[in-house]
Amino acid sequence: MSRLVSVIKLGRPLFLGGGFILYGLGAAIAAATGHTISAGRYALGQGAVTAFQLMTHYANDYFDYDADRANATPTKWSGGSRVLPDGELPRSVALICALVCAAIGIAVSGVIATSVGSLALPMLAIIGVLAWFYSAPPLRLCATGLGELDTAVVVTVLVPWLGFYLQAGTDDAGLRMLALSVVPPALLQLAMLLAIEFPDAAGDAATGKRTLVVRLGARTAARLYVAITAGAFVWPAIAYACGLPARVALAMLVPTPIAVWRMLRVRDHADASAFERLTFWAVGLLVITSALELAAWLPFTR
């Protein structure tokens, strides 16, 4: 039983919530723009997304083993699951779990491809490939300063787009609403990744993992964090002017006080005692904002 708990912990299930919310956001926009939701397609798409997300979590712990071992300041949200560095499971278990999840994701993608339009398979293939090479060699994007962009593209652009496409295809009006809606989550995803890289920076640098924080340096990365976070909460006014419903634009703005507080407290990046707070609220801003967007789109589906 303890090994099973460790395997579950290794998959970092708390991070799966974002995949459910953002996939649901795409489907909700499809419904709001007049498309009937197919429960079967929805379930298959969510299954593929979750399988690939779990694959990424397991692979990340496997390929980041040295950096995680060198990390002296991990938090609940950064530094990996801590299962492997703490010796709870052999390292090979993470790779096996990653490959099993990859196989499940590929199998579900094949089922989707046989019943949905021609774009489904390439979309799922891109999601799977970018997710795998986030931490896996030879690309190992997380160690090059490109992993942050990779993650934002997969989680906050391709996943909602998949949720939309499986229900609405290439409907132009819906795609426009989708594009206007995903900008704040995409920016907050980037900000979140910067925040969780601060506690990991010393261990990452020591093992040659060149994240964006390592490449830019902590001060510059902190300024970038502030700029990106600010951009996420300036965007709703632009999106409203471009036709986004007022209800959705206002929902995006609800977490603004939290965002302002976190920008004013950006100095937490240099205080190890504040790392837990820094990472928690960075994750929280992304989840809260995305969930509020989803909730705002749902009334339009009735």
Does the pLDDT of residue 288 top 90, yes or no?
yes
Domains in the chain, number: 1
Q: Indicate whether 177 pLDDT > 80.
A: yes
Mean predicted confidence (pLDDT) in 249-257: 98
Q: What percent of the chain has pLDDT over 90?
A: 96
Average pLDDT, the chain: 96
Q: Which domain holds residue 170?
A: 2-301
pLDDT of residue 26: 98
Three-state helix/strand/coil letters over the chain: CHHHHHHHHHCCHHHHHHHHHHHHHHHHHHHHCCCCCCHHHHHHHHHHHHHHHHHHHHHHHHHCHHHHHHCCCCCCCCCCCCCCCCCCCCHHHHHHHHHHHHHHHHHHHHHHHHHCCCCHHHHHHHHHHHHHCCCCCCCCHHHCCCHHHHHHHHHHHHHHHHHHHHHHCCCHHHHHHHHHHHHHHHHHHHHHHHHHHCCCHHHHHHCCCCCHHHHHCHHHHHHHHHHHHHHHHHHHHHHHHCCCCHHHHHHHHCCHHHHHHHHHCHHHHHCHHHHHHHHHHHHHHHHHHHHHHHHHHHHHHC
Percent of the chain with pLDDT over 70: 99
Task: Give the pLDDT of residue 299.
Answer: 83
pLDDT at position 136 is 97
pLDDT digits (tens, 9 = 90+) for 111-162: 999 988 778 999 999 999 999 999 999 999 999 999 999 999 999 999 999 9
Mean local confidence (pLDDT), 52-67? 97
pLDDT of residue 285: 97
Judge whether residue 252 has pLDDT over 80.
yes
pLDDT category at 301 given cuts 50, 70, 90 is low
pLDDT digit string (tens) for 187-212? 999 999 999 999 999 999 999 999 99
* Mean pLDDT of all residues in 33-56: 97
Looking at residue 161, its pLDDT comes to 97
